[in-house]
Amino acid sequence: MTASPALTPIRQDTALGILCLCAGIGLFSVQDLILKLVSSGYPLSQAMALRGLTAMPLLMLIAMRDGGLGTLFTPGLRLMILRGVVMFVAYATYYLALPALPIATAVALYFSAPLFITILSVLWLGERVGWRRWGAVLIGFTGVLVMLRPGASLFDWAALLVLVSGLSYGFSMIMARRLGTAETAPAMAFWGNTVFLVFALLMALAFGDGRLAGEGHPSVQFLLRPWVWPSVIDAALMCGCGVIAALGLTLLTQAYRIADSNAVAPFEYSYMLWAVLWGWMFFAEWPDGVAWIGISIIMSAGLMVLWREKVNDLPPAFELTGAEPGEDPR
């Protein structure tokens, strides 16, 4: 919760690449923390709209540095917009789950994305997957079942939202692998953010007056709560998510430019460390024994997928952006 398009690595520096990736992952983990903090007082559409508005000029500046604004308007524009819609589903479902789930649980379930990407690469791209990677996928989904605890009193249907997010994200990455041969990473990120902003405003029109709001599940409240005038601090936090998206994009893009993707991709799992830390510090959340087992299984399976792809000289299934290095994984 990340193969480069028109850009070619300018200088190999694995250590610096890993440092850039870990810094970018750390930034994006702060975005999860912010959204969980504001989810108790603001609607999702308001947080998403402020994030999208703040990120827009920053992403335009990045596009200008990477070839000019003309790179945003290409024959692949329609497919980039379609991919943006899929990414919006991935973002929205993940964000909606945050108020109801511990951050560590949400992040662990989101790491099912590499497993979905492996399956979709066979169905959509016709790639060949060996028995070892299929075994890793099956093991990974066993870990997902452990985390979900179906039938147990601790089961929360919001966990299914994260799986929808992982599946949607996986599908968007498969689309990125095709787009990445002709489109730049900033172009895909820009149009993804544009779709993100448009749909956030449409959500505001549908639910922003609060007429459907009420007591109920935290995820439903986050969706239907009315817009309110934010405090200065809360407004800064929500706008800060846009800055995080742009800076994180730059750091992760740089990581995949200057280092081999198979060398840096495993460090995306450092996200889990931040998720546990923020959950413990801000929400008194700590995974229980069963959760740790599920987390370990999912992470091990994901690393196995990455390792087998390195052995077979394939693009990592869970580069944060597939063919689009450095895009916001959320």
Residue 79, amino acid? L
Q: What would the pLDDT profile of 129-173 be if each residue is shown by its tens digit?
A: 777 888 888 888 898 888 887 766 667 889 999 999 989 988 887
Ramachandran angles phi, psi of 29, nearest 5°: -65, -30
Residue 324, amino acid? E
Name the pTM for this structure.
Answer: 0.84
Instruction: Write down the pLDDT at residue 85.
Output: 93
Ramachandran angles phi, psi of 99, nearest 5°: -65, -25
- Tokens at 244, concatenated: 């995080």
- 316, 306 contact by CB (below 8 A): yes
Per DSSP, the three-state class of 17 is: helix
pLDDT at 8 exceeding the cut of 60: no
- 179, 76 contact by CB (below 8 A): yes
Instruction: Write down the pLDDT at residue 275.
Output: 93
Per-domain residue ranges of the chain: 14-311
Q: What would the pLDDT profile of 101-121 be if each residue is shown by its tens digit?
A: 999 999 999 988 888 888 887
Instruction: Write down the pLDDT at residue 162.
Output: 93
Give the separation between CA 253 and CA 19, rounded to whole angstroms: 12
Residue 215: alpha-carbon gap to chain centroid: 29
Ramachandran angles phi, psi of 45, nearest 5°: -60, -35
